[in-house]
Amino acid sequence: MDTKNTEIITIRISEYLSEKLALQISNCLWGQSDIAGLRSTIYSFKSETDYFNVIAQNSSDDFVGRVCCMQNIDDPTLWYYGDLFVVEDYRRRHIAEKMIATAFDVLKDKGCKTVRTYVDPQNTPSLELQKKLGFTEKPYQKFKDLINTGDLMFEKQFGQIYNAVTVREKFDVKIVANLYNKNLQALHGNKIAYAEWCKSILNNDTDEENFLICRDLMPVAWLKINGLDSKDVGYISMLAVEPKYQHMGVGTFAVEFAESFLRGKGKKAVCVQTTSDNQFAIMLYNKCGFVETNRVKAISDDVAELSKIVFKKDI
């Protein structure tokens, strides 16, 4: 009996790689000890965005296979997977597919919407694998400094990872208050007592609706929409994102959800206001197609030259 076909293969995530594992990987993939090259790659991506490896090992902890995943610097929801390798004696046991499936689970947890890979057009097994995994060929684009000249580019969409939940319970109000307090400085807000939060949000006001933007069950932002009683225009009156989840597509989802929600209420436009020092909010609304319509100097104790900016978008 071939024991390699019956032994247990362990698949795990390695964020940084030990020197021993890096040596095994470089010798198997490139036939030489190139720990410095792997060190440079990890530093380049891990220090600027994110990077991880999926490692397959046998029962003796010997290296069996590996795939690496890198996050795009300009778009944190876009990732690349590559350097897929399985030791020859362990091939044709679906280890590659299991490693990729593990990578996909991690990528979804990291907020990935699109995963990209590059394939040599002569590599028929890899082309067939991408098709099996649900990848679609796309026009070639670079991914940071990766050199893939002559390769075909494939992408797979994971779909929307966020959802909106209407705030109806006191437990949800506590989360809203917490999200607000974590963004207090950026919002130029004041501390609000919990009783006031409950009174404000749970008062059945027909002109507004409060939502928790969630990733599965985990709340990651508070969205407040006003103007429901008005005829044509609705308002995003508050958007506070959990700091840990900023720059992960939460704001874009919240704005697009608000647009869809207000459109469903018969509104023809949506407005939002932010301050001139909130560059991330300004970038978000510009990205989502809003146009600045007004800017007035605001009175603030903590910022001398502060302006309030109003954005509008027809929907």
- Beta-bridge mates of residue 118: 153
Question: Measured between alpha carbons, how far is 32 from 141 in angstroms, rounded to an integer?
Answer: 29
Question: Measured between alpha carbons, how far is 246 from 240 in angstroms, rounded to an integer?
Answer: 10
Q: For residue 186, which of 309, 312, 313, 303 has the smallest C-alpha distance?
A: 303
Q: For residue 238, which of 249, 252, 250, 254 has the smallest C-alpha distance?
A: 254
Question: Is a pLDDT exceeding 60 seen at residue 3?
Answer: no
The β-bridge relationship of strands 136-138 and 218-226 is unpaired
Q: Per residue in 197-211, pLDDT tens?
A: 999 999 989 999 999
Domains in the chain with CATH codes: 3-157 (3.40.630.30), 162-314 (3.40.630.30)
Question: Is a pLDDT exceeding 60 seen at residue 2?
Answer: no
Note the pTM of the prediction, 2 decimals.
0.66
Residue 275: in which H helix or E strand, if any? strand 269-275
Q: Per residue in 92-111, pLDDT tens?
A: 899 999 999 999 999 988 88
Q: What is the DSSP letter of 309?
A: E
Q: Is the dihedral of CA 3, 5, 96, 32 positive or negative?
A: positive
256 pLDDT band (50/70/90 cuts)?
very high
54 pLDDT band (50/70/90 cuts)?
very high
Question: Is a pLDDT exceeding 90 seen at residue 220?
Answer: yes
**SS3 label, residue 295:** strand
115 touches 154 (CB < 8 A): no
CA atoms within 13 A on the CB side of 48: 14
- Tokens at 107, concatenated: 């990528």
Residue 150: in which H helix or E strand, if any? none
Q: For residue 272, which of 248, 251, 242 has the smallest C-alpha distance?
A: 251
Question: Is a pLDDT exceeding 90 seen at residue 192?
Answer: yes
The residue ranges of DSSP E strands in 72-207, in sequence order, are 78-86, 114-119, 136-138, 152-157, 162-166
